[in-house]
Amino acid sequence: MNALPAEYRNSETGRKVFEAVIREATFGEPDAPPVEIFDNNIGDEITPQWEFVYTNEMWLGEGVPPPDVKNLKSCGCVGKCDPKSKTCACAKRQLEWLQGYIDEGILPATWPGSPFVYDPRGILQRPDCPIFECNQFCSCDDDCANRVVQNGRKWPVHIVKTMHKGWGVFAGTKKIPRGSYVGIYSGELLTELEGEERGRYYDISGRTYLFSIDFHHLKLGMQDPDDWENIYVVDAYHAGNFTRFLNHSCDPNCRIYACYINDSDIDKPLLAVFTTRDVEPWEELCFSYYGDIDEKREIIEEARKTGKEELVKDHAVYARCHCEADNCIGRLFS
Residues engaged in binding ligand SAM (CB under 6 A): 164-168, 206-209, 244-245, 247-248, 321-323, 332, 334
Concatenating the DSSP letter of every residue in 176-227 gives BPTT-EEEE--EEEEEHHHHHHHHHHHHHHT---EEE---GGGGTT-S-GGG
Q: Which is nearer to ligand SAM, 25 or 285 (CB)?
A: 285
Q: How far is the CB of 144 from ligand SAM (least distance, A)?
A: 33
Q: Which is nearer to ligand SAM, 135 or 243 (CB)?
A: 243
Q: How far is the CB of 305 from ligand SAM (least distance, A)?
A: 24
CA 241 to chain centre: 11
Q: Which is nearer to ligand SAM, 204 or 222 (CB)?
A: 204
- The CA angle 239-178-38, to the nearest 5 degrees, is 50
Q: What is each CA distance from 84 to 76, 87, 92, 191, 292, in whole angstroms?
A: 14, 9, 10, 39, 32
Residue 279 DSSP code: B
Q: Distance (Å, rounded) from C-alpha 312 to C-alpha 314?
A: 6
Q: Which is nearer to ligand SAM, 251 or 265 (CB)?
A: 251
Q: How far is the CB of 207 from ligand SAM (least distance, A)?
A: 4
Q: How far is the CB of 168 from ligand SAM (least distance, A)?
A: 6
Q: How far is the CB of 271 from ligand SAM (least distance, A)?
A: 12
Q: Which is nearer to ligand SAM, 67 or 166 (CB)?
A: 166
